Structure 1
Amino acid sequence: MLQSQAQQTVEVSVGRVCTIAEYLLERLVQLNVTSIFGVPGDFNLAFLDYIESHSKLGWVGNCNELNAAYAADGYARVKEGSIGVVVTTFGQKNKLVLHHTFGDGRYDMYFKAAQQVVISHASLQDKATAAAEIDRVITDCVLMARPVYLVLPTDLVSAQIPAERLQTPLNTEPPQNDPETESVVLDEIVKLIEEAERGVIILVDACSIRRNVKDEVFEFAKKTRFPVYSTPMGKTAIPEDYELHGGIYAGVTSRPEVKAKVESAKLIISVGGLKTNFNTGNFTNKISPAQTVELHSDHTRIRLATYHGIGMKHLLPKLTERMQPFKEDVKAIDVPEFTLPVSQEDNDKISHLWLWPRLGQFFKKGDIIVAEAGTAYFGALEIPMPGGSVFMSQFLWCSIGWTVGSTLGAAIAARDMGLPRVILFVGDGSIQMTAQELSTMIRYGVKPIIFVLKNNGYTAERYLHDENAQYNDIATWQGFFLPPMGGTEGETCQSYTVRTKNELSQLLDNVEFAKAEKIQLVEPLMDTHDAPRVLKVLAALLKKAKLEE
């Protein structure tokens, strides 16, 4: 199960008793889960029967477990207030030599392996404690916005337990802050803001999204009229068409006007900061702790002092209440215009310099835009996206292929929510990792627009190390294969290959294409050694760092 914050409704359809499977599924329904991802296997089939017969849940069968996990992740990122769920196999108590094992009688090895990456876990071995354990683990998932792991043995799937607990909603609200400490924290922040006068900026980062404080931080921004900037991992946490949104800050990879404004601020209010290498321009962000207030999910840092247990979810609304509206006209506030004009080049070759701002003209409010780690991510990063759009990337782990499975989950969630378009940007190398899920998209009738940047391999890797190394080459796939995967070309799917700026522009301007009424795949042919501006700057930084080691 994956992220995020949840808002529950309790609509119990079971009686005085229920099976453990029914109890678990009812808790998921209360968290607004409507689709469950996974792969059928010998030891989970009895549980899958309960999913298949459930009136409020749908099963999405994936091509493999890796893709299922990616899909659940994408589903949760789009469907705020819900979580993503993956079902895999297997578990067995008796020491028999069974398939799906190493043949050594160890049936808990998957459970133990999962414990290295989850925030909470349980193996349901006793029906007397099963309901409480389910509630504990799911609550941890929601509160901590981290993955959890549940083992449900086959022989307990249909075990009967009392259903009474289902009448009580799970407590998924973050704990309240200590009032006295919170009061001190508020006083200190307000004092620093008053001393800084108009020299305050807000910097939103990844955990403002993961910890579900986007609304709270936007209210704070609108009330104070402080300029807002985003880190790469905080992109679209604040609507990027907001008049005081100045762009993306990531150290020396930032645009010069953004870098200057952020680093010259008297006070920076950082919300949900995550200081990874790529997120900080390889640690080149010049932000002193002495000029920073950091708001996190479970602590607040004011300059060099840390206040544990003071979380931003409850702190931000109170901080907003304490702020007096500033009277200055918005036009007097000097914020860089977040824009990226289309480059006027003297040739018709599709370049990154031209491609991304041109795509920016294609986006609409409410679009879900997914960008693969690599050239797609670095290119999409600098495009100002319309308000209400959601930018999805996976830039901490950077596992290529993530976006294809994630787009499936995102598209299913978007369909539930009435969001019209999901748009994927992925490289021709990355898509080869998880291309099977294109068939799942067709099978379940979702209709993303997929741009496969065809540049003959791992261009990001070429820039980061050796641009001519053969290990960054890939096998060339001659066109993609939506019809053999179950689609009917021209009816349920459509494929395009575009070789020039003019061909791509005509396609983007095509009204039928923009409607996204069928799954569509576009292959822009691009130069192997071309790359977006941010990738070039970051690659130069990394090479310089290696030389200085």
Structure 2
Amino acid sequence: MSTISLATYIFWRIKQIGVDTIFGVPGDFNLSFLDHIDEVDGLRWAGNANELNAAYSADGYSRIKGFAAICTTFGVGELSATNGVAGAYAEHVGLIHIVGGPTVNAEEHKLLLHHTLANGKFNIFKDMSKNITVKAVSIEDIATAPAVVDDLIRTGYVYKRPVYLVVPSNFSEAQVPASLLRRPIDLSLPPNEPLAEKEFIEHVIKKIVRAKNPCILVDACAARHDVKNSVEALVKATQFPVYVTPMGKSAFNEDSPRFSGVYVGALSKPDVKESLENSDLILSIGGLLSDYNTGAFTYHYHTTNVVEFHSDFCKVRSAVYMGIQMQTALSKIIRGLAEVDLKYTPTPIPASVSEYKSVQQITSGKLTQQYLWYKLSYFLRAGDIVVAETGTSSFGILQAHYPAGVTAISQVLWGSIGYALPSSIGAAFAAEEIDRSKRVILFIGDGSLQLTVQAISDAFRQHLHPYLFVLNNKGYTIEKMIHGLHAEYNNIQPWDHKKILELFHYKDDYEYLKVGTVEEMNKLYKDPEFNKPTKLRLIELMLDEFDAPKNLIEQARLSEIINSGKE
């Protein structure tokens, strides 16, 4: 064919960069657009139960495959997705949000259409999305449409942020040259400014050579912007100790002899806190210094020698190098280190890194938070994707040891309750496309589950088999710890969790399990069949209402102080 529809062109472009699933919900303004998904081999429609879950799922999918796509209808549909899109923006997750809009003619005549605000303003929703995307455009001319689409996809993919596209319904069938698909979208990074990059690299190498007690601190954007391999190479070249932040967990191999623990400011294990804060050089890679990622801003370095590596700038002390991207800079620093004489002698790692091993001595008793997270270390295996909900899960899971090759997903910065369940389903879509034997393992509280429970229906619809561990501790434990320990507003309506899968399954295979003791957990983890992702499983974990990880209790205390304005 010499020409194809614009809709087909868009779907092919998305497929060409490795996206195999389109998330979203149908609506009358995007129906003709969605007709063309089946014209692209290997592309599928997820068919989410609602737009918010679709956005969360796209986020989880993108964290595994590098990019994602969500399609909603104009107004009501896109606004339902905005919370999920905003979270992706905050946490550097690349995706394209495609909105099926009214015809150009309807907009020109300001028709009083449904899904509008009845004020004749058709751009108002796009204007809203401009604040939570790096680029937001509407198709206005079919001649330039392919270039607009390519630019949007490139922007979202390269900079790992959401982009937004309105396709008026009369443009879905409009024809564009099919030959344009033969030219790949350029996904390469723009080059760094040569002189600034050279100066920065020389500064950093000098500091590395002179350092006596250096370290590397790895944060979220090391994973989002794909420099994990560079971090591994940097550690191999220097043998510096490596710490991760809560958002950076799994961005560095915890089986490495140089892994030195999780640094969360004042909430860190004492030996981790002391060893990092006494460093004379800190190489901070991909930092996102939010409150929950820094122990309520309690970072206290005893050095001013901090080098920051980011996706759009780098910094040495007070010198900021705008436009110097860490991806290229790190690779050149690693090459440069091969030509210098490093006299650094590796120091011992903090003893607390091995504390999780103490769980092997516990053989009986009721299930507790500390046991749960330490024991998880022995259930996980290489290739697993672990998703933790905001709350006791995201704090508790920091105690677990991740084997090499585990990928962690959590939304520590945006922190939208309910995110983790649909995110894990999105990750399960991605995992299935990569390797059907990959396991997706979710930990979520009983309160958070109630916000987005329909995502389980999405998993059954596509025959996905995640592990859904539901922490039943009678409500919003993290909120209780922050404020209102016995307040009614922090309680929830109890659910009969064993009936949830029965409601959604429709002839698919599933399993409900209930665990309340150490013996039951040990037996479950030793079961060979349980270790295989052959069915969708919901495992209800019975925990005391006020049993919470120690770091969460301390974070909650600090958060209440900050929220009161008394800090």
Q: TM-score range by the shorter chain?
A: over 0.9
Alignment of 1:47-126 (within 5 A): 47-80=33-66, 83-90=67-74, 91-92=101-102, 93=104, 94=106, 95-126=110-141
Unaligned runs of 5+ in 2: 75-100
Measure, in 1, the Cα distance between the counterparts of 2:559 and 2:56: 29
Structure 1 match to 2:11 = 25
Which residue does the alignment assign to 2:386?
Answer: 369
- 2:551 is aligned with 1:534: yes
Cα 1:104–1:547 change in 2 (3 A) is closer
- In 2, the alpha carbon distance for the partners of 1:98 and 1:441 equals 34
Specify which of 133, 158, 161 is matched with residue 173 of structure 2.
158
Query: Is 1:171 matched up with 2:186?
Result: yes
Contact 1:289 1:303 in 2 (8 A): no
Conserved 8 A contact 1:504-1:524 = no
Distance 1:326 1:265 in 2: 20
What corresponds to 2:479 in structure 1? 461
Distance across 2 between alignment mates of 1:515 and 1:121:
43
TM-score, normalised on structure 2?
Answer: 0.90
SS in 2 for 1:122: strand
Secondary structure of the 1:453 match is: strand
- Whether 2:377 is the aligned partner of 1:360: answer yes
* DSSP 3-state at the match of 2:357: coil
Give, in whole Å, the separation in 1 of the partners of 2:342 and 2:526: 42
Q: Which residue of 2 aligns with 1:204?
A: 218
| SS in structure 1 at match of 2:293 | helix
Pick closer, same or farther for the CA change 1:416–1:462 going to 2, 3 Å.
same
Q: TM-score, structure 1 length as denominator?
A: 0.93
Deviation at 1:250?
1.0
Query: Quick check: 1:499–1:524 contact (8 Å CA) kept in 2?
Result: yes
Letter in structure 1 aligned against 2:322: H
Q: Tell me if the contact between 1:70 and 1:406 (Cα under 8 Å) persists in the aligned partners.
A: yes
Q: Matched residues in 1 for 2:119 and 2:344: separation? A: 72
1:19: Cα distance to partner?
1.6
> How far does residue 327 in structure 1 lie from its aligned partner after superposition?
8.0
Q: Structure 1 residue 268: deviation in Å?
A: 0.3
Q: 1:320 aligns with which of 322, 326, 334?
A: 334
Residue pair 2:363, 2:518 contacting (<8 A) in 1 also: no
CA distance in 2 between counterparts of 1:412 and 1:542 reads 35
Which one-letter code corresponds to 1:87 in the other structure? C
**TM-superposition CA deviations, 1:450-488 (whole Å, max 9, x none):** 100001100000001121111000000012411221255
2:237 and 2:365 map into 1 onto residues whose CA distance is 46
Whether the aligned pair in 2 keeps the contact of 1:487 and 1:493 (CA below 8 Å) is no
Give the counterpart of 2:450 among 408, 432, 453. Answer: 432
- 1:104 positional shift: 3.5
Report the alpha carbon displacement of residue 21 of structure 1 after superposing the two structures with TM: 1.0
SS in structure 2 at match of 1:87 = strand
1:128 aligns with 2:137: no
Mean Cα deviation higher: 116-125 or 166-175: 166-175
* Aligned position for 2:528: 511
Query: What is the CA distance between 1:280 and its match in structure 2?
Result: 0.7
CA shift, 1:97, in A, is 2.7
Native 8 Å contact 1:342 1:358 kept in 2: no
- Equivalent of 2:304 in 284, 290, 294: 290
Q: 1:396 aligned to 2:382?
A: no
Cα distance in 1 for residues equivalent to 2:399 and 2:497: 29
Match of 2:491 among 473, 477, 480: 473
Q: Is the 8 A contact 2:315 2:321 kept in 1?
A: yes
Return the match for 1:483 from 502, 505, 509: 502
Contact between 1:289 and 1:304, CA under 8 Å: does it hold in 2?
A: no
SS of equivalent to 2:9: helix
Alpha-carbon offset, residue 103 of structure 1: 3.4
Counterpart pick for 1:268 among 263, 278, 282? 282
2:357 matched to which residue of 1? 341
Q: CA deviation at 1:285?
A: 0.7
Please state if 1:259 is matched with 2:277: no
Deviations 1:311-349 (A, max 9, x none): 11111111001114878898x531125231345679722
Equivalenced residues, count = 529
- Helix, strand or coil at the partner of 1:97: coil
